[in-house]
Chain A
Amino acid sequence: MTAATANTSSLSWYEAGARQRIDALLDPRSFSEFIGPEQRETSPHLPIFDLPRQFDDGIIVGRGRLGGLPVLLAAQEGRFMGGAFGEVHGAKLTGLLRAARMLGQNVLILFDTGGVRLQEANAGELAIAEIMRAVIEARRAGVRVIGLIGGRAGCYGGGSLIAGTCSSLIVSEQGRISVSGPEVIETNKGVEEFDSRDRALVWRTMGGKHRYLIGGADIFVDDDASAFRQASIEALQCQARCDLPMIEAEQRRLERRLKHFGEANDAVEIWQAVGIDKPAEIPGLPTEEYLRRAADKRENADDAR
């Protein structure tokens, strides 16, 4: 591999920006961007709201190499508009996925998003639908679409639905995956339903450790760019079929989850039902010990995603 010398220093995935993540993830100097910031393809809609624009509209798309293999890559910038999907932002990812299908090249999506950008909500919503369709069409052509989740903005709303179409997901403890965010649930259903200020509740309901234990993610890593890199190299080797047997297996997997855990009131109850030893300790465990306890117990989604 050409990459052995690179990316050895530690970098928090959670703290890093999108461009830092790309540099740390891919083989050195292998990345090139499509429609980079110098082209100034900004949102035509944010000025209506007197909001600042960013020259890449909060997403970077391009190609590079990972462990010597060619990949296409998209990275969301959670620090711009919460990484939300607007018209230009979404279209860049749609275009990349359509190319992936034509080229038969694997795709990495570095999610960092609160969901649809409300200032361009209709365009953002349609972008999500177009992206999901493009993911499935690419997967039908044999392409792996790998999602990496561990950014500051998490992976919320429409972003979490796109994640649900990926062939594999890599997640860190910080990687929250959820359709309705804590504030949205609290605003609509009251603080009794969900107290968004209860951070421990947020992490154990939506965070990476819970998702990995119930089969909502495939690989659990430290909050470290080199760990995400190693996991991505591993994920590129996974099977990624997208056909009737896969969707039937997923149906059985999700039905089983409802049957076994559908009455649970809290994640700790689910972890107990999964068979985890001393489940209340899960949130505080370091990665190695967490993975040791999860091994052979967690629900997996192999060939069922």
Chain B
Amino acid sequence: MTLDEVLAGLFPNGSDITLTGGIVSGKGFLAGDSQIHVLGVAQGLPLGVDEAIALARRVIDIIKSGDQTPILLLVDSASQRMSRREELLGLNEYLAHLAKTLLLAEAEGHRTIGLLYGGSAAGAFIATALATGKLVALPGAHPAVMDLPSMARVTKLPIDVLKAKAEATPVFAPGLDNMVRTGGIQLVWDDSTSLAAQLAAILGQPAGQDERDRLGAARGGRLKAAEIAERVTSLAVNSPAESRRV
């Protein structure tokens, strides 16, 4: 779906949203006089220092407004922008800063919902969609860590071999289904019914803890993560301070 189609589906009551240089910003009008902040990366834009700082500024302004209104983050991006300039300027700080603003917004009482409607990859995916409290996707969305041809180059495996292995496990290959099965995406929306109603349903759910690892275990795509994390937490919390020699 295009951004316009997504916005039309989400906000039958209208919206006031601008798209400037691939950055989405504004408000959507929900049923019953309520509103939602809308931010995003569109048009398959790579996320560099300039885009990240602009988005972070928007999130901070929202937190400062103190209105507790939810934030919807629309994502159709490439990966992080790969350039000498970005790394010279410390891209890791800019991407982490953007993720922090989203996490902080949530901690300060704003629901944060990510909607992946196109692509996203690697550092851009981590700094945007994966930093929201709930992440949903539209059919056709295509998240990735790295595309298979690049992965073939790095792992020195023929692409046919990688494709065959990808049939057996959701753990490494790109794609929406794999990201759902590993628990990164909570839900794939049905694009043949009202997006507004599906948004309302997500907003109606209580904000909760990070349950992505448990979701991945329940869906059979990431069997170890939740168990390992829980064991470490429990060992650290329950073992008495002075008798922990292994």
Residues of A bordering B, CB below 8 Å: 32-36, 38, 41, 44-45, 48-49, 61-63, 70, 72, 87-88, 90-92, 94-96, 98-100, 102-103, 116, 118-130, 132-134, 136-137, 140, 157-158, 160-165, 177-180, 184-185, 187-189, 193-194, 205-206, 210-211, 214, 216, 242-244, 247-248, 250-251, 254-255, 257-258, 261-262, 264-267, 270
CA of A244 to CA of B230, assembled, Å? 30
CA of A62 to CA of B233, assembled, Å? 10
B227 — which chain A residues lie within 8 A by C-beta? 91
Query: What's the least CB distance linking A204 to chain B, in Å?
Result: 9
With contact pairs A140-B107, A254-B93 given, residues A158 and B123 touching in the complex (Cβ less than 8 Å)? yes
A193 — which chain B residues lie within 8 A by C-beta? 82-84
A-contacting 9-mer, from B7-15, B27-35, B146-154, B193-201: B146-154
With contact pairs A130-B212, A158-B123 given, residues A88 and B101 touching in the complex (Cβ less than 8 Å)? no
CA of A126 to CA of B215, assembled, Å? 12
Interface residues of B in 182-235 (CB under 8 A from A): 182-184, 210, 212-213, 216, 221-233, 235
Question: For the complex, is B113 an interface residue (Cβ under 8 Å from A)?
Answer: no
With contact pairs A34-B232, A130-B213, A205-B84 given, residues A179 and B123 touching in the complex (Cβ less than 8 Å)? yes
Query: What's the least CB distance linking A155 to chain B, in Å?
Result: 8
Interchain CB contact under 8 A, B229 and A214:
no
A34 — which chain B residues lie within 8 A by C-beta? 231-232, 235-236
Query: What's the least CB distance linking A124 to chain B, in Å?
Result: 7
Interchain CB contact under 8 A, A87 and B224:
yes
Total interface residues on B, using CB and 8 Å?
Answer: 84
Query: What's the least CB distance linking A235 to chain B, in Å?
Result: 18
Query: What's the least CB distance linking B75 to chain A, in Å?
Result: 13
Query: What's the least CB distance linking A69 to chain B, in Å?
Result: 12
With contact pairs A121-B151, A205-B84 given, residues A102 and B233 touching in the complex (Cβ less than 8 Å)? yes
A216 — which chain B residues lie within 8 A by C-beta? 90, 92-93
Interchain CB contact under 8 A, A255 and B53:
yes
Question: For the complex, is B36 an interface residue (Cβ under 8 Å from A)?
Answer: no
Max count, chain A CB within 10 A of own CB: residue among B83, B86, B93, B232: B93
Interchain CB contact under 8 A, A157 and B123:
yes
A-B contact pairs, 15 of them (CB 8 A): A70-B241, A87-B171, A121-B172, A122-B173, A123-B172, A126-B222, A126-B225, A137-B107, A162-B96, A165-B99, A216-B92, A244-B60, A251-B57, A254-B53, A258-B53
Interchain CB contact under 8 A, B169 and A48:
yes
B126 — which chain A residues lie within 8 A by C-beta? 125, 128-129, 132, 158, 161
A98 — which chain B residues lie within 8 A by C-beta? 229, 233
CA of A32 to CA of B241, assembled, Å? 10
Interchain CB contact under 8 A, B151 and A118:
yes
Interchain CB contact under 8 A, A95 and B169:
no
CA of A129 to CA of B89, assembled, Å? 23
CA of A130 to CA of B226, assembled, Å? 11
With contact pairs A34-B236, A87-B225, A124-B145 given, residues A136 and B172 touching in the complex (Cβ less than 8 Å)? no
Interchain CB contact under 8 A, B97 and A48:
no
CA of A262 to CA of B113, assembled, Å? 32
With contact pairs A45-B169, A88-B228, A118-B155 given, residues A126 and B86 touching in the complex (Cβ less than 8 Å)? no
CA of A92 to CA of B198, assembled, Å? 35
Interchain CB contact under 8 A, A189 and B237:
no
Question: For the complex, is B91 an interface residue (Cβ under 8 Å from A)?
Answer: yes
Question: For the complex, is B163 an interface residue (Cβ under 8 Å from A)?
Answer: no
CA of A226 to CA of B94, assembled, Å? 31
Query: What's the least CB distance linking A228 to chain B, in Å?
Result: 20
Question: For the complex, is B25 an interface residue (Cβ under 8 Å from A)?
Answer: no
Among residues of B, the one whose C-beta sits closest to the C-beta of A195 is B84
Interchain CB contact under 8 A, A257 and B229:
no
B131 — which chain A residues lie within 8 A by C-beta? 129, 132-133
Interchain CB contact under 8 A, B50 and A136:
no
B216 — which chain A residues lie within 8 A by C-beta? 123, 126
Among residues of B, the one whose C-beta sits closest to the C-beta of A181 is B87
With beta carbons under 8 angstroms apart, the residue of A121, A125, A165 that contacts B130 is: A125
Interchain CB contact under 8 A, B171 and A266:
no
